[in-house]
Structure 1
Amino acid sequence: MSDAPTTLLRWPAEGPSDESLSALLAAYHLRTQAEKGVPVGSPENLPARYRAEVEAPRTAFAGDTVLVATSGGTAAGCVVLSAPAGARSEVRRLWTEPAFRGRGIASALIRASFALSAAAGADTVRLSVWKWRTGAIGLYERLGFTVAESWDERDGLVCMERAL
């Protein structure tokens, strides 16, 4: 794997194909299902709401901002940023392909989310992360997120916020 520079693209206007984003989302959801102890084997077997994101990302994220990181022309990671609700934006679906980890891609995607959120009028960015994703939690803490009161009832989620 080369150390080609990473480029952040706003999908779909600048970004790679829908298929590239779908592949990133499928990898994210398949890994999450396996970590939850309910591996599904293929995107076709994902729960309906997650399968819909993989099959039709333009529809699933129509009101959101999606950034795709590329390295050497290959889709390497993604993040979905919700439009501000009140003064808060939410980061979802942060994913870096395992072959591209350790290059600062996730940090770059989150930092870009901060800038886009601030430009849209948000004063806070929030996210939720599964408690077993300790590496991700460490990254979020290094980027200034702190644990917040939960807004999601699913067991095992840690809710975090960062002021802009």
Structure 2
Amino acid sequence: MTDQREVAVVRWQGQEQEPSGRPGLSALLAAYHLRTQAEKGEPVADAALLPDRYRSEVLDPRAAFAGDTVLVASGADTDALVGCLVVTAPVDGRCEIKRLWTTPASRGRGIASALVNAALAHAAADGVRTVRLSVWQWRTDAIGLYERLGFTVVAPWDERDRLVCMERAV
């Protein structure tokens, strides 16, 4: 596993493409949503066919996540974005992690851990007391990661079938 110090995690600045000219956040979000739709048994051929709420994130992440903090990651061996995560704006001392995604080629290198740890640090700096998230129950690797990082399963706040809700104190 790559040392997390070799992973650069920064706050997304709203650009559609990275300075390198490579695809930016929209491409990561499209991959996330396309994979999720396929895993739910509702595959679509491309991002233009995603349900409206997800398509809007891909088309205009700046508007979709206005008020939230979007973190992006690149590895030491590439200037391309290899991961993303959204931290919602705090409400009543709580925020939520959403849209954690790393490119398949970059998995197993500590990028997801680096993103979650950066999100936790960001939440703490904002005075958040609790960070929560939801994850599909078939994403056992993600659930394992969250458990290693101190998250525990809690009563669901989202009633969608097969969704696991987790949280941890900051």
| TM-score bracket for this pair, using the shorter chain length | over 0.9
Q: Percent identity?
A: 63
Runs of 4+ in structure 1 over 6 Å off: none
Given that 2:83 and 2:100 are in contact with CA atoms closer than 8 Å, whether structure 1 keeps it comes out as yes
Distance of 1:36 and 1:8 partners within structure 2: 29
Consecutive unaligned residues in structure 1, runs of 5 or more: none
Consecutive unaligned residues in structure 2, runs of 5 or more: none
Given that 1:94 and 1:106 are in contact with CA atoms closer than 8 Å, whether structure 2 keeps it comes out as yes
Pair 1:153 & 2:154 matched: no
**Equivalent position of 1:132 in the other structure:** 138
Q: Deviation at 1:83?
A: 1.2
- Equivalent pairs counted in the alignment come to 162
Q: Label 1:116 to 1:13 Cα distance change in 2 as closer, same or farther (>3 A).
A: same
Distance of 1:121 and 1:109 partners within structure 2: 19
The within-5 A match list for 1:69-84 is 69-71=73-75, 72-84=78-90
Match of 2:106 among 100, 110, 116: 100
The normalised TM-score by structure 2 is 0.90
Query: Secondary structure of 1:37's partner?
Result: coil
Query: Secondary structure of 2:98's partner?
Result: strand
After superposition, the CA RMSD in angstroms is 1.9
Distance of 2:152 and 2:165 partners within structure 1: 8
**Equivalent position of 2:7 in the other structure:** 6
Match of 2:27 among 17, 23, 28: 23
**Equivalent position of 2:150 in the other structure:** 144
Q: Deviation at 1:9?
A: 1.5
Match of 1:113 among 115, 119, 122: 119
Match of 2:92 among 62, 80, 86: 86
